[in-house]
Amino acid sequence: MAKNKTIFVCNECGYESAKWLGKCPACNSWNTFYEQKVEKYTDMNKSDIKVNNIPQPLNTYKGQECERTSTGFEELDRVLGGGLVKGSLILLGGEPGIGKSTLILQLCNKVKGEGKVLYVSGEESAEQIKLRADRMKISNDDILFLGETDISVVNQAIVDLNPKLVIIDSIQTMYSDELSAAAGSVSQVREITSQIMRVCKMRAITTIIIGHVTKDGNIAGPRVLEHMVDTVLYLEGERYFSYRILRGVKNRFGSTNEIGMFEMKQEGMCEIENPSEILISEREDNPSGSCIVASMEGTRPLLVELQALTAQSVFGIPKRTANGIDYNRLALLIAVLEKKAGLMLGSQDVYCNVVGGIRINEPAIDLGIVCVSASSFKNIPIPSDVVIMGEVGLTGEVRRINLIEKRLKEAEKLGFKKCIIPENNKKVLKEKYKLDIIGVKNVNEAMQKLGLK
């Protein structure tokens, strides 16, 4: 028989303790423990164990394709792998004010005619939601609003209405009376998500949970939350830029790390069909310290502009600033430039920026960072019709990158004339391109081809 037990859980890191502690021994945070009731099962005899399910060979089962519903957004369908999967649980995270609620409200209108949509909000009133809907010219009688934070009331509404789609905005505002912890705590978020998943999975209802992110950019709450859901989406972008990137970091029904690009306007989120053209449209004719690089985001090639600025440092230790790329990667590539290319950047402040507020993590832009830094230091412009791509090693070699054909096709489509790529990639190219493709083996050779050395 079951026996109730009380444990204490840290609100910051999820550490569990049998008694209340003032300071968490795991994360060293003060006054973060909340009480949580758990159910512990006593030992059972073998006769008490009921066998309800017998293991079967995997080959006896038949694989079935997921039933999907289009969201009405091609960019969102791309990230989800083709649309909303029936009965799936989706977590959408992002900073406050980035446009999560706006995008989801538009989604509710796009699925018009597919069935009822239950929009549960614990942050905004019905009047606030209606004002936003009127501004975006949204009119759908199938959208049902529920302003509630008690999860038991929400679950009962889901059972009574049996909607096609459920929106929870946001998971941090919901609470359960069964737990004494405050709303938004680790134990509350974990328990509420478990209840929602149980109700919606049993009735095959697609559910989207909106979650806030911490200052580190992670979903607020326990890490187990991301493991419980089927899909995790992040809405990224600088608040002062109009462009937003929807990135899929987990997807049980499609590929991961796909991106969709939107622009925030008065009427809501608008899709950008050709992000590369938008990101490089405002580039000047031929400035020094600027170049175009080819990056891959999931299966989509993306051409972006890299900018670098070098200036004489007035302090003993030069400053390195990276916006949109990894800071440690920038420091590493500057060291390669000093050691292998002979550029004395030890007394220079170096600033590197990815235009448009986009963040790129793949190493294929290494060669672009090296060349654009050298261009700014020597004040020699890189030709505007050149695209640069390649990974740079510590010995200065340019290493091969993947999906080179897609990158070259994107550059060719946008009218570029020349591409500098790794020599090992050039050797295996099978198709013919209108581009002048130049293969390089190291950073010195790449700089010579660009007239930087």
Convert the pLDDT of each residue in 63-94 to its tens digit.
677 788 889 899 999 899 889 999 999 999 88
d(C-alpha 409, C-alpha 407), whole Å: 6
Do 427 and 406 fall into the same domain?
A: yes
Do 293 and 255 fall into the same domain?
A: no
| CATH number for position 350 | 3.30.230.10
Residue 429 falls inside a structural domain = yes
- Average pLDDT on 426-444 reads 91
Structural domain for 15, as ranges: 2-45
**What's residue 41's pLDDT?**
42
Do 288 and 407 fall into the same domain?
A: yes
- pLDDT band, very low/low/confident/very high, at 120 (cuts 50, 70, 90): very high
- pLDDT band, very low/low/confident/very high, at 161 (cuts 50, 70, 90): very high
Do 350 and 258 fall into the same domain?
A: no
Convert the pLDDT of each residue in 250-267 to its tens digit.
899 888 778 888 988 888
Do 239 and 330 fall into the same domain?
A: no
Q: Report DSSP letters for 288-353, one per residue.
A: TTEEEEEEEETTEEEEEEEEEEEEE-SSSS--EEEESS-HHHHHHHHHHHHHHS----TTEEEEEE
Is the pLDDT score of 361 beyond 90?
no
Do 165 and 303 fall into the same domain?
A: no
Residue 51 falls inside a structural domain = no
Is the pLDDT score of 294 beyond 90?
yes
Instruction: Tell me which of 273, 307, 332 is where a domain ends.
Output: 273
Do 83 and 181 fall into the same domain?
A: yes
- Average pLDDT on 373-395 reads 94
Do 263 and 282 fall into the same domain?
A: no
Residue ranges in 46-179 assigned as alpha helix (H): 74-80, 100-110, 126-135, 151-161
Residue 53 falls inside a structural domain = no
Residue 417 falls inside a structural domain = yes
Do 264 and 282 fall into the same domain?
A: no
- pLDDT band, very low/low/confident/very high, at 395 (cuts 50, 70, 90): very high
Q: Residue 313 forms beta bridges with which residues?
A: none
Neighbours of 168 (CB within 10 A): 27
Is the pLDDT score of 1 beyond 50?
no
**What's residue 217's pLDDT?**
52
Residue 61 falls inside a structural domain = no
- pLDDT band, very low/low/confident/very high, at 46 (cuts 50, 70, 90): very low
- pLDDT band, very low/low/confident/very high, at 437 (cuts 50, 70, 90): very high
d(C-alpha 20, C-alpha 40), whole Å: 19
Residue 63 falls inside a structural domain = no
The answer to whether the Cα torsion of 134, 139, 141, 146 is positive or negative is negative
Domain count, the chain: 3
Do 185 and 100 fall into the same domain?
A: yes
| CATH number for position 264 | 3.40.50.300
Convert the pLDDT of each residue in 132-155 to its tens digit.
899 888 888 899 999 999 999 999
Do 198 and 321 fall into the same domain?
A: no
d(C-alpha 339, C-alpha 372), whole Å: 17
- Average pLDDT on 161-167 reads 93
d(C-alpha 119, C-alpha 389), whole Å: 45
Do 372 and 353 fall into the same domain?
A: yes
- Average pLDDT on 213-237 reads 72
d(C-alpha 95, C-alpha 234), whole Å: 9
- Average pLDDT on 5-30 reads 82
Is the pLDDT score of 367 beyond 60?
yes
- pLDDT band, very low/low/confident/very high, at 13 (cuts 50, 70, 90): confident
- Average pLDDT on 293-303 reads 88
Is the pLDDT score of 2 beyond 70?
no
- DSSP-derived pairing of the beta strands 418-422 and 436-440: parallel
Instruction: Tell me which of 222, 249, 273 is where a domain ends.
Output: 273
Instruction: Tell me which of 211, 246, 273 is where a domain ends.
Output: 273
- pLDDT band, very low/low/confident/very high, at 411 (cuts 50, 70, 90): very high
- pLDDT band, very low/low/confident/very high, at 237 (cuts 50, 70, 90): confident
Residue 57 falls inside a structural domain = no
- Is there a contact between 154 and 119 (Cβ–Cβ < 8 Å)? no
Residue 187 falls inside a structural domain = yes
Residues contacting 237, CB < 8 A, separation 6+: 98, 99, 243, 244, 245, 357
